[in-house]
Structure 1
Amino acid sequence: MNLELGDLLFSSQYFAEGIRYCVLRKLCKPLLYRWFIHKAGKRKSSRTFSFPECLQNGGKVVFFMPEEKEVAKIILDELPVESLKTILFIAHGDQEILFSQKKAQVSYYTDDGCRYGEDQFDRIEYQVKTYAPVACVYPGPHKPQFLYLALISGAACRIGFDCAREYPFLNMSLHELKTISPARMIARYFIKGKIG
């Protein structure tokens, strides 16, 4: 086995390179989720919240943007301008151009930098914790390390789509409607009195 093949066998999209995370790179999905839940520690996941009011009342929200630019653009175009002031967006660096015309707080990551243990990931983890949101929005696709960030945010309401399997990381599961895209649907929850 040459060095390149060995690197491929032990690389991970969830953990930083290096010997420290070698064993964790081999975990199956259920064990990987349990490790991230354990790492998050005991959280007050049973606090009550009112949905969709938690998104409409001007409280702080962490929004994990989908990596698909078309979907992210729809969300940004549909969100009310006043809500952008209270949202911390977590977005892939490829979306920087989408945010260039918006006055929004954004924390960017790269494919390598979004892995647990990377400096970029540590910076985003610190930002999410100190932002102290009342809600997290995570439309997907689900990555264990980002689900972990949603859980450690301290937000009582952690919203996703068809995400019952992602509990306790996400605790509010919305179902897609046939008449409206998930991107438009989630953006409209930020507007008082406009659902669906």
Structure 2
Amino acid sequence: MFKWFLSQAGEDSGVFDFPASLKGNPKTLVFLDRNLEKTAAFVRAMPDVFFKNALLCAHESQQVLISARRATAVYYTDLECRYGENAFEELEYKFRAYKPDVCIYLGEAFLPTLYLAKVCGAGCRIGFADENCFPFLNVCLKPAQSSEAALISQYYYGAK
């Protein structure tokens, strides 16, 4: 399945300068974790300014959490997040049209959303779970003692 999704997405990746490409709050697409507690921790820890230039991709069960931060999001259901469904193609269209500079992928590897991360057009695609997601994701960060939000904030805003 991995190879099939990769053939659909294309193996090539654009050039980017890491970590310089994260400075200044670039246009960012964020795939949130399906786990509500993990997503809540990330969303609550990020500064308000982050959400001004971010589009979140989240499961429909997370609408209340995300709307509390006044963040822009695209929601999906379990039935819609399957390759080949009309709703899935709409997600793909929205993410390509958004044209993010950076993609942040939180959570476990799931081939349909990894495919969407790859085809969104972001040169820098950051994950935290697994180096084996390359080339869907092309940067793997491992927060040693901080959270994903703290690590991202450090790169985006120089926060410690």
Per the normalisation by structure 2, the TM-score is 0.91
Structure of larger gyration radius:
1
**Which one-letter code corresponds to 1:33 in the other structure?**
F
Identity %, equivalent residues: 33
Question: Residues 94-133 of structure 1: matches in 2 within 5 Å?
Answer: 94-133=61-100
Residues 132-178 of structure 1, C-alpha deviations (whole Å, 9 max, x = no match): 1111000221110111111111111000114221110000011131x
Tell me which residue corresponds to 1:40.
9
Does residue 17 of structure 2 align to residue 49 of structure 1?
A: yes
Question: Residues 172-187 of structure 1: matches in 2 within 5 Å?
Answer: 172-177=139-144, 179-182=145-148, 184-187=149-152
Tell me which residue corresponds to 2:28.
61
Unaligned runs of 5+ in 2: none
Q: Distance in 2 between matches of 1:76 and 1:55?
A: 18
8 Å CA contact retained: 1:55, 1:189: no
Which has the higher relative contact order, 1 or 2, with Cα contacts under 8 A spaced 6 or more apart? 2
8 Å CA contact retained: 1:56, 1:189: no
Does residue 130 of structure 2 align to residue 194 of structure 1?
A: no
Q: Distance in 1 between matches of 2:25 and 2:152?
A: 14
8 Å CA contact retained: 1:80, 1:190: no
**Which one-letter code corresponds to 1:68 in the other structure?**
N
Following TM superposition, the consecutive aligned residue runs of length 4 or more in structure 1 with deviations greater than 3 angstroms are 184-187
**Which one-letter code corresponds to 1:99 in the other structure?**
I
8 Å CA contact retained: 1:79, 1:190: no
Residues 71-128 of structure 1, C-alpha deviations (whole Å, 9 max, x = no match): 1111111111111011110000000110122221100011111111122211111111
2:37 counterpart (65, 70, 76)? 70
8 Å CA contact retained: 2:143, 2:151: no
**Gap change, CA 1:39 and 1:56, over 3 Å in 2:** same
Q: Distance in 2 between matches of 1:193 and 1:83?
A: 13
**Which one-letter code corresponds to 1:135 in the other structure?**
V
Unaligned runs of 5+ in 1: 1-31
**Gap change, CA 1:191 and 1:42, over 3 Å in 2:** closer
| SS of equivalent to 1:122 | helix
**Gap change, CA 1:142 and 1:186, over 3 Å in 2:** farther
- RMSD, aligned CA: 1.7
